[in-house]
Chain A
Amino acid sequence: MSVALTPGRRRRIIGEAASAALGIVIVIWSLMPVYNMMLVALDPEGENEFDGNLWPPEPTLDSFRAVLTGGHWYLERFWLQFGNSLYIGLMTMFLTVLISSLASFAIGRMRLTKVWVLTDTALLIYVVPASLLAIPFSRLMYSYELMDRLLAVVAAQVMFATPFAVLILQQFAKLIPIEFDEAARIDGATPAQVYLHIYVPLMAPALAAVGTYALLLAWDEYLYQYLLISSPKNWTVAVAIEQFFDVDEAPWNYMMAMAVIYALPPVAIFYGLSHYMATGLTAGGVKG
């Protein structure tokens, strides 16, 4: 076949080939560390990752089973640790939603504008990196007698999550006509009733978004958990993974299996909500 390619067609074919190549590079780049995780986790013994294997020689789900059933002295407390992580995540989510929705209602809907000092300060704190605040924070936790309590971690996460949550909720609240509130008030509703029966139901999607944000923030963070929690019964999964590094002859396949299990809930949330995430990003005010 001698079909002469016009320059335009040739250019288009080269363009397609180039983007296919780029696509392959992106897939390999994105999946390599994930593949490495599975490679180690699927290994029957903990030391095989130094044998230079490119794929698991005898892939087995044993290490996952061991983690889930506590089949190793090191994993005995896994479910307790998972519960602690979940507790921190859910408490952060609940308190962030509660506190930020109350505050954004008062500031945005009741137009309590005189608290701008508070909101501006909060936004400044949101911008300051958490790790630079960790030392005085943990010092104060000693004096508040919250050391080695999960609540101390929750307090830190709620403090970092609420300013952004209030900002987002105020953006969303602009979409709800203020006339709803006014109509309810003419009918004699107290602010608490307006909040409960109008604001919360209408803002439900935004509250869900803010709650997810807080949950993921708490799940992803480990510096404060690492610094504030010391006794093994209060360890979270994140701290437990980190502690593997301090043990000689640690079973690395178990650690990786643990890491994979720990990574699953956020991944599920991300892919389950990916559509909402995209809209949330555009509604979050980052539009040009």
Chain B
Amino acid sequence: MSGAEQVLAIGRHRMARWPRWHGRLHGSEFAWAIAFVVPYAAVIIVFGVYPILFGFWMASTPSLYADLFSDPVYVQTLVTTVLFVGIGVNLKMFLALLLSGFFTRPRWWIKAILLIYILPWALSAIPAFTSFHWMMIGPGSFLDSLSLALFGVEGPIWFNDRWLALGCNIVAYVWKWMPFWTLIFLAARMAIPRDIHEAADIDGASGFRRFVHVTFPLLANVYLICTLLSTIWALGDFATVSLVSGGAPKRTTDVLATLTIRYAFDMAKPELGVAAAMSALPVLIPLVIGLMRAVRTREVQL
């Protein structure tokens, strides 16, 4: 072996031992990597994991749950929550899916409408929902005057009736969040290769049939993921109900997210509040597991 070959061999050896940060980090590099992760770990543990464990501990007394279920307000809140989340999320997702098809049309004015359409998403929740509250607050409010001018009928007093108030909450929720999901579905539709639609056209499937047999099956998994994620978030939606109806009339439109806060801060029963929040877990955990599964099966699509 010549000297040059030896150098090359050593070089090769060195190259093989060198870089690639994966596998094993050693010495100072490992210390650096740990140091980089420490702030993240600290934030998650101190402000995330610890409060959650603390919450479990606060709500660990079994009698709290007996108290909860003997409170008619709580049972009523469960019903309202199911209706608010169930109707709100599904209505929003279904309309978003349909509208995303509308926005794929190649017209300049449809692009302009899209810019207006995303305004609710861009608007902060507080101004937007406050405006909803004022629009419906009673005689002389904007919606009332509008229906008087258009149909000559005075609008109902929205927040005096449980179902009307719940409807207002749902409409406001759909209004605020539909644009975001429409954009997601729009992006997903754009990702479908054009030739698939062309092939469907040649086979005579257009319009409604193309949507049912081609587009929707391709979007189904995205739709499922979005619906699961949105359901989880809607379960914790505090802003909509607290700002639009404020729980009126007589707190019958409270949802779980607002009830926990009310128990804890208006009635000074923080343990009961946490227990009410914990009672969402039997629904929340399956949703999270379902979400994880749906995200994993995404790879086999297309």
Residues of A near any B CB (own CB < 8 A):
19, 22-23, 26-27, 29-37, 39-40, 49-54, 98-100, 102-103, 105-107, 109-113, 115, 118, 121-122, 124-125, 127-137, 139-140, 155-156, 158-159, 162-163, 166, 178, 181-182, 185-186, 190-192, 195, 219-220, 222-223, 227, 238, 241-242, 245, 252, 255-256, 259-260, 262-263, 266-267, 270-271, 274, 277-278, 281-282, 286-288
In the complex, the answer to whether A140 meets B54 with C-beta atoms within 8 Å is yes
In the complex, the answer to whether A242 meets B29 with C-beta atoms within 8 Å is no
Residues of B within 8 Å of A22, CB to CB, are 102
- Nearest-neighbour CB distance to chain B for A51, whole angstroms, equals 6
- Nearest-neighbour CB distance to chain B for A7, whole angstroms, equals 14
Pick from B37, B148, B242, B265: contact of A118, CB below 8 A. Answer: B37
How many Å lie between the Cα of A112 and that of B29 in the bound state?
Answer: 10
In the complex, the answer to whether A110 meets B29 with C-beta atoms within 8 Å is yes
How many Å lie between the Cα of A140 and that of B47 in the bound state?
Answer: 9
- Nearest-neighbour CB distance to chain B for A38, whole angstroms, equals 9
Greatest chain A CB density within 10 A among B119, B121, B183, B264 is at B119
B32-66 with Cβ < 8 A to chain A:
32-34, 36-37, 39-41, 43-44, 47-52, 54-55, 58
A-B contact pairs, 13 of them (CB 8 A): A19-B107, A32-B142, A34-B131, A54-B145, A107-B37, A115-B41, A125-B52, A134-B264, A241-B130, A245-B246, A263-B127, A286-B188, A288-B192
In the complex, the answer to whether B119 meets A288 with C-beta atoms within 8 Å is no
Pick from A27, A111, A129, A260: contact of B116, CB below 8 A. Answer: A27
Interface SS, B side: helix
Residues of A within 8 Å of B232, CB to CB, are 127-129
In the complex, the answer to whether A288 meets B261 with C-beta atoms within 8 Å is no
How many Å lie between the Cα of A282 and that of B19 in the bound state?
Answer: 33
Pick from A23, A131, A133: contact of B113, CB below 8 A. Answer: A23
Q: Chain B, 130-141, contact with A by CB distance < 8 Å: what is the 0/1 string?
A: 111011001111
How many Å lie between the Cα of A121 and that of B44 in the bound state?
Answer: 8
How many Å lie between the Cα of A139 and that of B127 in the bound state?
Answer: 28
Whether B200 sits at the interface, judged by CB under 8 Å, is no
Pick from B142, B191, B233: contact of A129, CB below 8 A. Answer: B233
Residues of B within 8 Å of A106, CB to CB, are 32-34, 36-37
In the complex, the answer to whether A287 meets B55 with C-beta atoms within 8 Å is no
How many Å lie between the Cα of A282 and that of B132 in the bound state?
Answer: 31
Whether B123 sits at the interface, judged by CB under 8 Å, is yes
Q: Chain B, 117-155, contact with A by CB distance < 8 Å: what is the 0/1 string?
A: 111111111111011101100111110111011000000
- Nearest-neighbour CB distance to chain A for B242, whole angstroms, equals 8
Contacts A50-B139, A52-B144, A219-B124 given; indicate if A133 touches B52 (C-beta within 8 A): yes
Number of A-B contacts (CB under 8 A): 293
Residues of A within 8 Å of B237, CB to CB, are 129, 131
Residue of A nearest to B190 (CB): A282
Residues of B within 8 Å of A155, CB to CB, are 43, 47
Whether B302 sits at the interface, judged by CB under 8 Å, is yes
In the complex, the answer to whether A136 meets B175 with C-beta atoms within 8 Å is no
Residues of B within 8 Å of A270, CB to CB, are 118, 121-122
How many Å lie between the Cα of A113 and that of B141 in the bound state?
Answer: 58
Which 6 pairs of residues, A with B, have the shortest CB-CB distance?
A: A129-B236, A50-B140, A259-B127, A111-B22, A270-B122, A136-B55
Pick from A109, A131, A241: contact of B238, CB below 8 A. Answer: A131
Contacts A111-B23, A129-B235, A190-B32 given; indicate if A122 touches B48 (C-beta within 8 A): yes
Residues of B within 8 Å of A133, CB to CB, are 51-52, 55, 277
Whether B221 sits at the interface, judged by CB under 8 Å, is yes
How many Å lie between the Cα of A54 and that of B147 in the bound state?
Answer: 10
Residue of A nearest to B235 (CB): A129
Whether B8 sits at the interface, judged by CB under 8 Å, is no
In the complex, the answer to whether B32 meets A134 with C-beta atoms within 8 Å is no
How many Å lie between the Cα of A259 and that of B7 in the bound state?
Answer: 72
Residues of B within 8 Å of A132, CB to CB, are 235-236, 256-257, 260, 277, 280
How many Å lie between the Cα of A63 and that of B259 in the bound state?
Answer: 35
Residues of A within 8 Å of B261, CB to CB, are 131, 134-135, 223, 227
Residues of B within 8 Å of A51, CB to CB, are 140
Residues of B within 8 Å of A186, CB to CB, are 18-19
B220-243 with Cβ < 8 A to chain A:
221-222, 225-226, 229, 232-233, 235-239, 242-243
In the complex, the answer to whether B127 meets A260 with C-beta atoms within 8 Å is yes
Residues of B within 8 Å of A31, CB to CB, are 116, 119
- Nearest-neighbour CB distance to chain A for B65, whole angstroms, equals 16
In the complex, the answer to whether A49 meets B44 with C-beta atoms within 8 Å is no
- Nearest-neighbour CB distance to chain A for B14, whole angstroms, equals 10
How many Å lie between the Cα of A259 and that of B140 in the bound state?
Answer: 21
Pick from B58, B146, B246, B288: contact of A136, CB below 8 A. Answer: B58
How many Å lie between the Cα of A23 and that of B103 in the bound state?
Answer: 10
Whether B73 sits at the interface, judged by CB under 8 Å, is no
Residue of A nearest to B149 (CB): A54
How many Å lie between the Cα of A222 and that of B242 in the bound state?
Answer: 11
How many Å lie between the Cα of A133 and that of B219 in the bound state?
Answer: 33
